Amino acid sequence: MVPVDQIQLNFNPASLMLLNVILGLVMFGVALDMRTSDFKHVFVTPKPVIIGLVAQFIFLPALTWVMTMLIQPAPSIALGMILVAACPGGNVSNFITHYSRGNTALSVSMTAISTAVAIFMTPFNLTFWASLNPETSQLLTKIAVDPLDMLLSVFLLLGVPMVLGLLISHKAPSVAKKLHKPMRIFSLIVFGVFIAGALAANWSHFLNYVGYVVFYVFAQNAMALATGYFSALGVGLKEADRRAVSIEVGIQNSGLGLTLIFTFFHGLGGMALIAAWWGVWHIISGMALGTIWARHPPKEI
């Protein structure tokens, strides 16, 4: 069997373009439900949002780097773990937070702000932490990833759809309200169908190699959820806020990760498997944790 660092998933330029469009639609659908007040929230009650962003963009990437140095997975798997940790929160975090009886308003604020911050922090965290691991640094050098090119790519994938969605929600809130639910359902269904098709096209690779990444995704996701929760606990946030921060840090935008992997890393096997399995597992773990929390309302409520 070919080493996981040497496999490349089947993905042509037309498929990559389609994935970019779908991810843009997903982000646009999310942005339709955002308000400028979501960003103002950080100035009104800054502590919960700030600790969430610190856990998301500083603690999680740093702890992931430590994890890769300690357990030393294959270089492409380690690089995939660092990339996932560098991504912003996923767009299902708001639903799971609400289901968990967490602070949904805080979750929405964190999603909005972390997406904006990710335009700069995702390329920075990937190149910074990957360069500190000799194994992953070699992959970056070999593939010659330009942080500025990645910055532009992330801006086009996240920034442009978010700005368009915010403009509509601000200038035409009634239109945004009508479009939000259909757009979100449509984009998520299309994204799910696309991922299922990509998985089918690479089914043999998935069956042969998924066992390599299951443990790493499980461990990293558990660490992400714990990082969010205990960071919030450490600064004295309420239980509802802790749940929101935990889920926001534990639910990553693996769709963005996959797009960057196919754009800049030519579908490098270990990276793609990590991001793809994250996309499945973080929903399972998030809903499982949410079900437990839903049965125990926060004392503040």
SS3 state at 89? strand
**Residue 1 pLDDT grade (very low, low, confident, very high; cuts 50, 70, 90):** low
* Residue 4 scores a pLDDT above 70: no
What confidence tens digit (pLDDT) does each residue in 78-115 have?
A: 999 999 999 988 767 877 887 888 887 788 788 878 88
* Residue 273 scores a pLDDT above 50: yes
Query: Is the alpha carbon torsion for 139, 141, 144, 147 positive or negative?
Result: positive
Neighbour-count burial of 218, counting CB atoms closer than 10 A to its CB (0-12 exposed, 13-18 middle, 19+ buried): middle
Which whole number is the average pLDDT over 17-29? 74
What confidence tens digit (pLDDT) does each residue in 221-263 have?
A: 999 999 999 999 999 999 999 999 999 999 988 878 888 888 8
What is the structure's pLDDT at 301? 47
Whether residue 244 contacts residue 56, with contact meaning beta carbons closer than 8 Å, is answered with: no
Percent of the chain with pLDDT over 90: 27
**Residue 63 pLDDT grade (very low, low, confident, very high; cuts 50, 70, 90):** very high
Which whole number is the average pLDDT over 261-281? 81
| DSSP classification of residue 5 | G
SS3 state at 65? helix
- List the beta strands (DSSP E) in the chain: none
What confidence tens digit (pLDDT) does each residue in 116-140 have?
A: 888 889 889 999 999 999 888 888 8
* Residue 36 scores a pLDDT above 90: no
Residue with the two structure tokens 């269904």: 189
Structure tokens at 61: 């990437």
* Residue 11 scores a pLDDT above 80: no
Q: Which of 19, 86, 70 is nearest to 274 (CA)?
A: 86
Whether residue 154 contacts residue 23, with contact meaning beta carbons closer than 8 Å, is answered with: no
What is the structure's pLDDT at 235? 94
Helices 46-54 and 239-250 pack at an angle, to 10 degrees, of: 30
Which whole number is the average pLDDT over 257-275? 82
- Mean pLDDT, all residues of the chain: 81
Which whole number is the average pLDDT over 271-287? 85
* Residue 153 scores a pLDDT above 90: no
Which run of H or E residues covers position 1? none
| DSSP classification of residue 300 | T
3-state secondary structure the chain: CCCHHHCECCCCHHHHHHHHHHHHHHHHHHHCCCCHHHHHHHHHCHHHHHHHHHHHHHHHHHHHHHHHHHHCCCHHHHHHHHHHHHCCECCCHHHHHHHCCCCHHHHHHHHHHHHHHHHHHHHHHHHHHHHCCHHHHHHHHHHCCCHHHHHHHHHHHHHHHHHHHHHHHHHCHHHHHHHHHHHHHHHHHHHHHHHHHHHHHCHHHHHHHHHHHHHHHHHHHHHHHHHHHHHHHHCCCCHHHHHHHHHHHHCECHHHHHHHHHHHCCCEHHHHHHHHHHHHHHHHHHHHHHHHHHCCCCCCC
User: What backbone torsions phi and psi does residue 88 show, to the nearest 5 degrees?
Assistant: -75, 180
What is the structure's pLDDT at 16? 61
Domains, in order of start, for the chain: 6-294 (1.20.1530.20)
